[in-house]
Structures are given as structure tokens and as C-alpha cells.
Amino acid sequence: MNEKIKNPSVPAGFDRVDGRLKVTGRAKYSAEYNIKGLTYCVMVGSTVTKGTLTAVETKKAENAPGVLAVLTYFNAPKVPGYQGDTPPPKGPLRLFYNDQIYFNGQPIALVVADTFERALFAASLVTATYEKSLHQTNLEANLANGFLPNNSKDNIRGQEDGYKAAPIKIEQEYILPTEVPNPMELHATTARWDADDKITIWTKTQGIKATQRNIATAFKLPPDNVHVIAPFVGGAFGSALRTWPHEIAAALAAKVVKQPVKLVLSRGDMFTSVGYRPRTWQKIGLGASADGKLVGISHEAIGQTSAYENFTEGVVGSSQLMYACPNVTTRYKIVSLNVNTPTPMRGPGEATGAYALESAMDELSYALNIDPIELRLRNYADTDPASGKPYSSKYLRDAYKLGADWIGWSARSQKPGSGTEKGCLAGYGMGAGMFGAYRSTATVTARMTADGILVLQTAVTDIGPGTGTAMATIASEIMGLPENKIKIDLGDSSLPPSPTQGGSSITSTVGSAVNDACKELKDKFSQLGGAGQADKPDYAKILKDHNLEQLEVTTTSKSNPEMSKYAGYSWSVHFIKVLVNPATGVVKVDKAVSVADCGHVVSHKTTRSQMIGGTIMGIGMALTEEVVIDHRYGRLVNNNFADYHVPVQADIPQCEALFVNKPDPYLNPMGAKGMAEIATVGVAAAVANAVYNATGKRVREMPITPDKLV
Ligand code: MOS
């Protein structure tokens, strides 16, 4: 490893603007608004996996101390907006809407009491009877029931399954188990009706405006009568992309008891309430000429969905795009099982697909006896293979080089099982990733106040990546202000509209609006005189000289139409060195580096932190994370953090994030592309490939637990 390879071209950047509030406990999350008259909700889940609910025994619970209500299908008032649109089994789950049980743990009752403890006790007294039917929860046992979702079809470029004609080919199957985007902060909703037709809701969400619209639709309210507040979100990874049934249930409960309610999901509830990365079976066929040129790629995937919604994700899409290859066939199906609906979890589809594709590329590199980086360089796509368009920017070659140099790739042997270190088998692996570079529409207000503080306002939530910090950084450069002169207001539906935080698009989208608003504001000051040229203008003095209380602009920024001429993607490559104990089969990641071509890095500290988080998520995918279902009962076995293993500090090695840091000329004024998803896409394959390099054992079902190696 070369310690000198840092990030010479990237400035250190601001500290997290909300870091102090977070570490001192002053940042308030959705479960922490202890408003007047607050009552407490606890959910009761179904103990069967499929069937019809015939009765819920609520009397004991209702008679328990402090209990205000027990809502079930049999007594709950109707949610007004639930009439008319698509109900289950062909639409989103609705609590207390019908008597059908679609999965184990599906909420069948909600207890409201004057304290949390009393609600929890009363919930333990609720029992139910069911007419059970035969459930299906096993993906591999149901692959034959896979169907093409939503009128989709197979995607064929060139010859169908053209890989089969190549002189060198590999064909392999891979399984990625269900993983949960289970963040530290439990999902929570605090709901208060301020009038019959007016509600304030503090809820964990990635989309403030989407939540506002969804609550308004459910309760048939004008959107302006729904106030959604979420200034801090403690991680989400896709789990808060939707307005979930429990949020509607909390609002309904508050209506019933005529008091504000708080519903905090238990850690167990989280596993069945807020989605997951779906278990997926994949098959890859790769064919190449003896000199390592890809002749064909075939990628087939079957993922699981619930019995009431067709959840799909782009598992096979990147296989059409990642490499220059004339014959590419991709097929994608889903299987309905008695499980809750998945959600787009970080790198949704891409992370699953890249695990298989990048594993298969590694297998091909051994079949050809060509270095895995060299194999990728021989098939490097200089234009988008699907559309033929030029890239808006692509510096993946630079990323390969940076990462290989950092990890010390030249020390790797192409012969598996030949490296030893500290009594362990040592090996190196790599895997690459891609994700679309997006930008949509956002509105930002930039206001200079009389005391020279710049206030930036928009509705977006910051789920952890450091959106506010990126906004402050962009504003600071334009306005010539230090970070302590910039105040960020986020996470409130009364602020100017912004899209849902997701899809690696928010720095691009909201950052552009900050850029435009600050430039306009600066122009306004220029027109007043005195602010245009100077490096650090005294805005407070200019306002005072002109007898102004404040100066503000509100600007809406939209995507650049020029982008339609280009294929816009972010790229990443991950390098992993593992040490495998030959006696125990325990895999220890020794070193990890992820390198991104994500355009210009706006905010170095938060971007690096987010990148390392993505690497760790990928290490979890490869080594420890798996939701286990006992298929006899259809019940989750490990719906807690003691048995579902996310990597902890001791699992994480020396870990670095590097950035090519060359601006994209078209996507947005900052030259930034997204990096949230690419931080995870490709990591799991890099780990599996390193394990193979170390041991000669190819594990094709994640996670690589020790039993699979000894
Ligand atoms: Mo996401 S999967 O961009 O929350």
C-alpha cells in the first residue's frame, strides 16, 4: 500500500454543518418530539404467514391500564383516501383494510396507551385467530414461478446468448440473500391533528414533499394542510423512500384517540415494515476470445417480491452497459412470496447485479489467465454500449489505477492460494460499479440577513450523507463566506420544494439550486454596488448602507437539456485485500479502498465518509448480512441486530476512499456526479474475488461465512 496516495486534488472541506448538534444530542429525530398530550402506539403482528384473519381478541388489552384504543381491521375507521385507488393484492399494503394476511409479522392491531410501557404490555395481551393457508417464502424453491413484471421483456443486443459461441466461456449461478437497510434510527412517526382537516407529522422520511402528498391523499386533505417535519434523519438507505402503512396508521390512531400519538417501530418491526434488498438468484454467462475480448454477456435474474406488489429493480441493467460487448442478453423476473415488499436499498438492483457480473468477470480472468484489471481494460467502453452516446464524463481508467496503486495490486498473484501472511491465506480482489448520474428540479431560497448570515432553505431531508454541508460548501465558494456565516434549513414541508433524497441525485439537484440562488443573490448585491468584485464582501454593511433588513432570492433549478446528448454515469472500483484463517475459515478484510469517478467532489469530508460507509455496507453484504426465514413457518429467524450481523468497528480494516475528482462538464454547474450508490456497487464481488484469490474457493452464495470455506 502506498501511504502517499491520498487525495491531493481534493480540498479538506467543511466539517459537517449539523455534526455538533448530532453528537451533543440536540438534533431532534422523529421519535423525540415529546409534544403536549402525547400518547404511544405499539403494533401487533400476525403470527401466521398467509391466511384470513377471523377475529382479534382485544378486550384484555382494552381493559389494561392506560389503554386508549386498540385498532384492528374489525373496528378501525376507514382511511378516506383508500377508496377508489388500487387496493391489495395489487397495490400497497394498507393496515386494517381487509382481513387478508400476506406475510408473517404483518400488523393486525395497533394499541394506543398513555405511556409506551402500558402500550407494550397491552399489545402482549392481543390475540388473534386465523384461517391459515399454505405459504411460500422460499425463493429458490419457487424460481419456476418467476414472471416478467409489468409487461417487461428480455433485452437482447446482438445475438441472443451470443456468449455460447465464444472459445472461452464461463457459466455460473449466484445467490444474494435478503439484506435489510436497517439504519440506527428506528422508523418513527409522531402525528398530531391540529384541526379536523389539518395535521402535523414528524416522521422519518427521505421525501418530505412526497410524504406530504401521500398523507394528503390518504386523508383527502389539501396538501398545504399537512405539515411534514424531519430536519434530521438517522440513516435510511432506501428504507424511508415510501410513505409506509404504519405512518398512515399512526395518523389514523391520532384521529381516533383525539390526541397526538407516537409510533416507534421496534427493531423487529423494522425487518417487516420498511422494505429490504430482495433475495435474488442470478445466472451469468460470459464468453470471450482467447485474448480477452468479450464476445457475449448473458445475465438472468429472479428476485423476490411480496404477494401484493410487483417490486422491481435494475438488477441486470448494468450488464447491458458496463463493458464494450457486441452480444448482450438480459432477463429479469420476479417471484411473489408471502413476504413484505422490498424497497430500493442503496445501489438498488445495481449492487445485486454487480455482485454477479463482477464475480463472473473475475472467474473469466482466471479462465483466461489475464489480470482482472487488464481484462476490464480490454473491454473498456469508451461510448455507451446501449445508446452509442458519448459519456458526459468517464474516468474509470484513472480510478482503476488509483485503487490498484493504493492497495499494492502488483503484489497480487494470479495463482489462487499462493499468498500467505500472518499465518493466513492472503488474497486480493477487485470489482467495479456504475450508477446513473441524475439531476432533477429543486427550489432554494437564499436569504442574506442583516447580521450577514446567509440562510439557505429547501424542503429536502438529509438522511446522513451531508446534504447541508454540501450546500454550505457550494454557497461558501460563490458568496465568499466562511462556514459559520451560513445557516441551512432543511427537512420541512413549508420550505421550498425539493425532490426525495435518493438515487445519488441530491447534491446534483439541490446543489444546482443553491448554486443558482447564490449567484442570483450575489448579482443583486452587485446591483446595489460594492459586492461584485471583492473577494469577501461585507454583506451586512451593504444591507445597512441601503437600509435593507435582508435580501433574498428564491430560485428553481432544472436539469440541463444538453445532458440528453450524453450518457451520464458515475463509476467506481473497489479493491479488497483479505486474510483468511485456513483453520477456522474466518475472513478478515485487511485493507479496502474504494475509488470513485463521481465528478468534482463538492464536500470532501462528507463524501469520503459516505464512500467508506458504502464500502462497509458491501463488506457486510459479502461476509455477514443475511435475513434468514424459517420456511416451515415463514417467520424471520434473525430479525434483530444480535443475529443479523452488520459489520462493526472490529470488522473494518484500514479503509480509504479516493476520488478522481475531475468535473463532469454537463450535468450541473458544480461538475459533480452522484456517489452514494457507487460506494456500494461492486464491493461484494471485490470481497468474494479476494477470498477466491486467497483460498481458491469460489463462494457463489453470499455471505461468505466460515462454514463455506472449511
Ligand atoms: Mo436510495 S436506494 O437512493 O435511498
- Going from the Cα of 304 to the center of ligand 1, the distance in angstroms, rounded, reads 19
Name residues whose C-beta falls within 8 Å of residue 32's C-beta, 6 or more positions apart in sequence: none
pLDDT of the residue at 318: 97
Q: What single-letter DSSP state applies at residue 691?
A: H
Whether residue 350 lies in the annotated active site: no
Give CA–CA dist 311/352, Å, rounded.
14
What's at 15, amino acid-wise?
Answer: D
Q: How many angstroms does the Cα of residue 321 sit away from the middle of ligand 1?
A: 20
HSE of 388, CA atoms in CB hemisphere, 13 A = 2
pLDDT value at residue 621:
98
**pLDDT above 90 (res 331):** yes
The per-residue pLDDT for 1 is 46
Mapping DSSP to helix (H, G, I), strand (E, B) and coil, where does residue 689 land?
Answer: helix
Of all protein residues, the one whose alpha carbon is nearest to atom 4 of ligand 1 is 238
C-alpha 497 – ligand 1 centre gap (Å): 19
pLDDT at 90: 80
- For residues 157 and 153, what is the distance between their CA atoms, to the nearest angstrom? 13
CA distance 609 to 114: 41
Cα-based angle 675, 678, 683 (whole degrees, multiple of 5): 140
pLDDT of 529 reads: 78
DSSP string, 441-491: -EEEEEEEETTS-EEEE------SS-HHHHHHHHHHHHHT--GGGEEEE-S
Cα 93 from Cα 341, distance rounded (Å): 9
Ligand 1 pocket mutation pick from 182, 204, 237 by most atoms within 8 angstroms of CB = 237
Q: How many CA atoms lie within 13 A of 104 on its CB side?
A: 20
d(CA 338, CA 212): 30
Chain-centre distance of CA 406, in angstroms? 27
Q: What is the mean pLDDT of residues 550-561?
A: 98
Instruction: For residues 622 and 547, give the distance between their C-alpha atoms in angstroms, rounded to a whole number.
Output: 62
Probe residue for ligand 1, chosen from 204, 233, 239, 241 as the CB with the greatest number of ligand atoms within 8 Å: 241
**Rounded to an integer, what distance in angstroms lies between the CA atom of residue 167 and that of residue 614?**
37
Q: Does the predicted model carry a pTM greater than 0.85? A: yes
For residues 461-475, give the mean pLDDT. Answer: 97
Above 90 in pLDDT, residue 4? no
Cα gap 44→498, rounded to integer Å: 35
Name which of 185, 186, 187, 250 is nearest 215 in CA terms: 250
Query: Pick the catalytic residue: 179, 185, 309, 677?
Result: 677
Mean pLDDT of 52-56: 98
Question: With contact defined as beta carbons under 8 Å apart, do 173 and 700 qualify?
Answer: yes
Nearest atom (ligand 1) to Cα of 239: 4
- The minimum-distance atom of ligand 1 relative to the CA of 345 is 2
Give distance in angstroms: CA of 343 to centre of ligand 1. Answer: 9
Q: How far apart are CA 319 and CA 387, in angstroms?
A: 14
Give the closest residue to 500 by CA, choosing from 259, 260, 206, 128: 206
What's the CA-to-centroid distance between 241 and ligand 1, angstroms? 7
Q: Can you give the pLDDT at residue 232?
A: 98
pLDDT at 65 over 70: yes
Cα–Cα distance, 642 to 619 (Å, whole number)? 18
CA of 465 to the centre of ligand 1 (A): 11
Give the whole-number percent of the chain exceeding pLDDT 70.
97
Q: Tell me the three state secondary structure of residue 410.
A: helix
Q: What does the mean pLDDT of the chain come to?
A: 96
pLDDT tens for each residue of 118-157:
999 999 999 999 999 999 999 999 999 999 998 899 999 9
Give the angle 288-290-295 at the CA atoms, nearest 5°: 20
**Percent of the chain clearing pLDDT 90 (strictly above):** 95
* Model pLDDT, residue 309: 95
Ligand 1 atom, smallest distance to 241 CA: 4
Determine the Cα–Cα distance for residues 408 and 690; give it in Å rounded to an integer.
13
Q: Which atom of ligand 1 is nearest to the CA of 502?
A: 3
Residue 5 is predicted with a pLDDT of 57
Question: Could you identify the residue written with the cell 473497489?
Answer: 574
How far is the C-alpha of 702 from the C-alpha of 705, rounded, in Å? 8
The pLDDT of residue 334 is 98
Close Cβ partners of 608 (under 8 Å, ≥ 6 residues apart): 7, 657, 659
What pLDDT score was predicted for residue 13? 84
**Cα-to-centroid distance, 676 and ligand 1 (Å):** 8
Nearest-atom index, ligand 1, CA of 503: 3
What is the structure's pLDDT at 536? 67
What is the best residue among 346, 467, 500, 610 to mutate for testing ligand 1's pocket, by most ligand atoms within 8 Å of CB?
346
* Residue 173 β-bridge partners: 283
> What mean pLDDT is predicted for residues 196-217?
98
CB 501 within 8 A of CB 610: no
Taking the CA atoms of residue 244, residue 247, residue 253 and residue 258 in that order, the dihedral angle to the nearest 10 degrees is -150
Q: Residue 237 and residue 232: Cα distance in Å, rounded?
A: 14
Q: Which atom of ligand 1 is nearest to the CA of 346?
A: 2
Distance 502 CA to ligand 1 centre (A): 4
**CA-based nearest residue to 482, from 439, 524, 401, 537:** 537
The H or E element that residue 693 is part of is helix 683-695
Query: Ligand 1 centroid vs 667 CA: distance in angstroms?
Result: 20
Spatial neighbors of 318 by CB under 8 A, at least 6 apart, are 350, 353, 354, 357, 433, 434, 681
- Cα–Cα dist 516/531, whole Å: 17
- pLDDT tens digits for 506-530? 999 999 999 999 999 999 999 997 6
- pLDDT over 80 at 12, yes or no: no
Instruction: Name all residues whose Cβ lies below 6 A of ligand 1.
Output: 206, 237-238, 241, 344-346, 348, 502-503, 676
Atom number in ligand 1 closest to CA 677: 3
Would you give the distance in Å from CA 455 to the centre of its chain? Answer: 28
For 212, the enclosing helix (H) or strand (E) is: helix 208-218
> How far is 570 from 660, CA to CA, in rounded Å?
11
Q: Which three cell numbers stand for residue 440?
A: 432533477
**Span 649-700, pLDDT tens digits:** 899 888 999 999 999 999 999 999 999 999 999 999 999 999 999 999 999 9
